[in-house]
Amino acid sequence: MAVAYQDELKPEPEKGWRSFNWPNTIGLTIIHVGALAAFIPALFSWPAVFVMIGLCVLTSAIGISLCFHRALTHRGLRIWKPLEYFMAFLGTLSLQGGPITWVATHRQHHAATDRDGDPHGTDKGFFWAHCEWLLKKNSAVPDEAGKVRLAPDLTSDPIYRFLDRNNVQFQLLLALALYLWGGWSFVVWGVFVRLVLMYHSTWLVNSAAHMFGVRPYKTNDFSRNNWWVAILSWGEGWHNNHHAFQFSARIGLDWFEFDPIWLVIRGLRAVGLVRDVKVPTLKMRERMRAQA
């Protein structure tokens, strides 16, 4: 089921240094430079690495993949509301924008995938889809009015508005908590290294999974199933499946398509914490395969 949203076309961004989104560019540069501190021997510790891994699972796998993407953007499942808010808070700690910003941008991506209007379409090249779309002024990224139009279900919720406004502040509080817990080693690994690893695994879904891989289903875009991106992104790399069945809470549809988030969803459904879980029927999949 395609998302029926489309933002209006806006003027082309300026050229040269004026074309940069300087807050994003400076922030992402600081994060990547900060991650290089992991190579300082005094800042390495196995507890810090384990903290980083645990936070990756909580903030990226649960917060972004399960909550922001499959539940909030595509409504592939309904989560018990207090748990949904907690998962959305975890997603906010991924520093990819708050829930409203993330969902509105992703819905815009599905409304105009790989063509004009897509915030990170591969029609503009690999690097644009991977991260340049964040570094440059980008008219396809929803503004405040666009967020209201694209994500009215979230902009009407004061808790989601609060999370969206304060996503940077929450990251700073997390950094402070990690410093008090384990010093600079925990900050470097739990914030900077984690963010760099999770940024690029997410960005690869936008870039590599739209350029390299197989297309078992016919879709009006360049989406591909890419096994190694799936490994790096909690199953999100089965991306042609996702674009064929955007409503589906399960993205790895075949037995060999490992989708750890689907296993989590099944577990939560078994204990009654999620409901209305949507997956495509076998007939729907066969019909789409026949068209490919």
User: For the segment 214-272, what is each residue's pLDDT rounded down to a tens digit?
Assistant: 999 999 999 999 999 999 999 999 999 999 999 999 999 999 999 999 999 999 999 99
Q: In sequence order, which ranges of 36-166 are alpha helices (DSSP H)?
A: 46-55, 81-92, 99-111, 126-127, 133-135, 144-150, 152-155, 158-165
- 198, 60 contact by CB (below 8 A): yes
9 pLDDT above the threshold of 90: no
Rg (CA), the chain: 19
Neighbours of 15 (CB within 10 A): 7
pLDDT for residue 290: 73
Residue 99 has pLDDT above 50, yes or no: yes
Domain positions in the chain = 16-291
Per-residue pLDDT, averaged over 142-162, amounts to 98
Mean pLDDT of 76-81: 98
Q: What pLDDT is recorded for position 289? A: 87
User: What is the DSSP secondary structure assignment for residue 39, as one 8-state letter?
Assistant: G
